[in-house]
Structure 1
Amino acid sequence: MTTHDAPRRGLSRRAALGVTAGLALAARGASAQEWPTRPLRIIVPYTPGGTTDIATRLVAEPLSRVLGQPVVVENRPGANSIVGAAAAASSPPDGYTLVMVLPAHAANATLQAGKMPFDALASFAPVSLVVQAPLVLAGTKHVPAEDFRGFVEYIRARPGRVNYGSSGIGATAHLAMEQLQLRTGLRMEHVPYRGTQPALQDLMAGNIGLMFDTYSTLKPQFEAGNVRALGIATATRPSFAPELPTIIEGGLPDFVASSWCMLLAPARTPQPVLDRIAAEVATIVREPAMTRRLQDLGFVVEGRPPGPTGDFLRAEVARWGEVIRTADVRVE
């Protein structure tokens, strides 16, 4: 080999590597362009008929039309969303499996640390924060107080003697109330229920004093005069409930808390596929008629892309993790 041959051979090798990389990129691009070629499924880790299920089905139908493939909603309830999330995490990262999670997914990262068959962050690729559902604080009519300030004064005068309910340990409604106690110094006893409805029945009966839940759940009881509307945990009054004062207006600065619906995919799902789904979801939820339907259900429309969705999820994991540790919340 002469001294002139070496550079040529080196250049040839670099060129070959470049061609190989180019072919690989082209193959990935072609794969993304061909997607989807078969039905998709969105796993809902809760029972049919709930808020998450309704929001998912509202999005799935128009998503099916625009993608030209069926989008099947599969309910996989169990273990506070862990069963359904595990099924998604173990699925092939090919863009054909998604999961719609709630804040319980973020809370489980701390509550169930080391006990889950997946990592709440690393096992998933963020797709879209679809909607948020601000939490509303409701009070029983059996307490002689009519607004947020009045309830705070009533509870403060009876430390540990007022109960509050939630749909279960680690639910957003539970953790938001723990955060409320941390912020106000109030002391209440938690009564966890197996779902929202039994808690709501006991609120109406006066067996518990307070509970957080979504506006769509509580609105009929507010309108019927069965429970008191004490405040909504938003920065400003939402367009779907302009008559409802915020908890901030009630005297607790910067108190914001919401449930939310977020689409995730298995980790390593191709980014072009994630971007396509997120773009289509954003278009769907921002269509005026769909926006009105979602707002009627008490949702705030989001449709965030993958990057900001991932940032939001990490912030929620950190936020609820701090509440769980500070309040020493444990799963029994």
Structure 2
Amino acid sequence: MSAHTISRRCPPQGDAGDIFPSNSRRRQLLQMAPALAAAGMAPWGKVAAAAYPDHPIRVIVPFAPGGGNDFIGRFIAQQLGRGLGQPAVVDNRAGAGGVIGVEEGAKAPADGYTLTLIGLSYAVNPSLYKLSFDPVKDITPIGKVSDGALVMVVPASLKARTLQEFVAMAKAEPGKINYATSGAGSIIHLATAHFASLAGIDMVHVPYKGGGPALSDTLTGRTQLFISSIPEALPHVKAGKLRALAVTTSTRNNMLPDVPTAAEAGLGGFEVSLWNGLIGPKGMPAPVVRRLNEEIGRALARPDAVKVLENAGYTAAPDTPEQFGRTIAEGLDLWGRVAREVGVKPE
């Protein structure tokens, strides 16, 4: 009903009988109110969704510049800026394994202008740190961006040439195989402990302060297994100094196309994907979430964007907000169980 029509039907001032309707008329108006409200609100909802975004978006990357998480954060920020018509600006907020930046993002206004990139560490951190927010209830999943593989490498001098041979060797010599990690409680630690549990083997954990030293001692044979990022290990695999036994994702990686998955190598059920995706604070408007998710999907359907990811060892992995929410919840459950088995407790 237009404003002009309403003005024609309004009675002259002072006509109290028309201004204050009868009881029956009042009941009729109350019955109509929900429908009138819905009809009135629908156009405004569409206008608000169409107007988003009308200023730059902040993408919190809870890690320092450089490294895989930062690469994915800058990649998707660029893609979103291209699709949304507003700049998406990366804000690196490092600390506590990503917890500091994620907490800041979770407490931001839920208007779609502050997004946070999370990765697999998000599912591990509740086992390592005491959080000030609920990692499921206090966020809005927007969508996954990418999957990344790790690779299980051994020194080239080791007799085991396949994953099955390595498992057989470890079973024959319990407690004599050393595995390197980038630190106690790290995802590499938990992933390797998970592998050992599934394979039924007993190995000795040798933690290092970072992946570099762990890889160095695996190269020399001081440690006999390291689950590494592919870019770190690739030059040594190509040089014949390390042997790649398997990648940890459900599909092979284009940077190591001849290396089988763990399932193909005989260890079903072992899968570790370095996923990354975007979340927002709890209570984001559904139309804004849909818009962002659609833009992620459009970006990851472009061959040029897919190629950028593949060249860095990642796979485009768009999904729905609901699917990404399940990925987060399942990751929290899995890595929480593994952490309890290993004996890792929050600081």
TM-score w.r.t. length of structure 1: 0.91
Equivalent-residue separation in structure 2 for 1:212 and 1:233 (angstroms)? 9
Distance 1:219 1:7, change over 3 A: farther
Q: CA shift at 1:36, angstroms? A: 0.8
- Structure-1 separation of matches of 2:167 and 2:49: 55
Match among 157, 161, 182 for residue 176 of structure 2: 161
Normalising by structure 2, report the TM-score.
0.87
SS in 1 for 2:343: coil
Q: CA deviation at 1:53?
A: 0.7
**Structure 1 segment 225-244 matched on structure 2, within 5 A:** 225-244=240-259
Question: What is residue 93 of structure 1 aligned with on the other side?
Answer: 110
Find the counterpart in structure 1 of residue 271 from structure 2: 256
How many aligned residue pairs are there? 327
Amino acid at match of 1:103: L
Per-residue CA deviation, residues 273-332 of structure 1 (Å, 9 max, x unaligned), is: 111111111111221122122112221211112111111111111222222223333356
Q: Deviations over 1:259-280 (max 9, x none)?
A: 1111111111111111111111
For residues 222 and 134 of structure 2, the distance between their equivalents in structure 1, rounded to whole angstroms, comes to 38
What's the CA shift for 1:83? 0.6
Alignment partner, residue 126 of structure 2 = 109
Contact 1:108/1:170, CA 8 A, preserved across alignment? no
Q: Say whether the 8 Å CA contact 1:128–1:281 is kept in structure 2.
A: yes
* Structure 1: unaligned runs, 5 residues or longer: none
User: What's the secondary structure of 1:80's corresponding residue?
Assistant: helix
Mapped partners of 1:304, 1:268: distance in 2 = 20
Structure-2 separation of matches of 1:230 and 1:56: 30
Q: What secondary structure is seen at the aligned counterpart in 1 of 2:209?
A: coil
* Aligned amino acid, residue 80 of structure 1: G
Tell me by how many angstroms 1:26 deviates. Answer: 4.2
CA distance in 1, matches of 2:184, 2:276: 19
Maintained 8 Å contact 2:152/2:227: yes
Shift of 1:15: 2.6
Q: Which residue of 2 aligns with 1:288?
A: 303
Q: Which residue of 2 aligns with 1:316?
A: 331
Q: CA deviation at 1:21?
A: 4.8
Percent identity among equivalent residues? 34
Aligned-partner Cα distance in 1 for 2:233–2:24: 75
The alignment yields a C-alpha RMSD, in angstroms, of: 2.1
Q: 1: distance between equivalents of 2:32 and 2:186?
A: 56
How far off its partner does 1:241 sit? 2.8
Note the C-alpha offset of 1:214: 2.7
Tell whether 2:81 aligns with 1:79: no
Distance 1:214 1:23 in 2: 54
Matched, 1:326 2:321: no
Q: 1:253 to 1:31 in 2, by over 3 A?
A: same
Q: Do the aligned partners of 1:170 and 1:331 also contact (CA within 8 Å) in 2?
A: no
Whether the 8 Å CA contact 1:44–1:84 is kept in 2: the answer is yes
| Partner Cα distance (1:225, 1:7) in 2 | 89
2:142 maps to which of 106, 127, 148: 127
Residue 208 in structure 1 maps to residue 220 in structure 2? no
CA contact (8 A) 1:86 1:118 kept: yes
Distance (whole Å) between structure 2 residues aligned to residue 10 and residue 240 of structure 1: 70
Contact 2:306 2:316 in 1 (8 A): yes
- Structure 2: which amino acid aligns with 1:49? G
Q: Match for residue 27 of structure 2?
A: 10
Question: Offset at 1:257?
Answer: 1.6
The alpha-carbon deviation at position 23 of structure 1 amounts to: 4.2
Structure 1 residue 223, shift from structure 2 partner: 0.9
**Matches of 2:89 and 2:312 in 1, distance apart?**
22
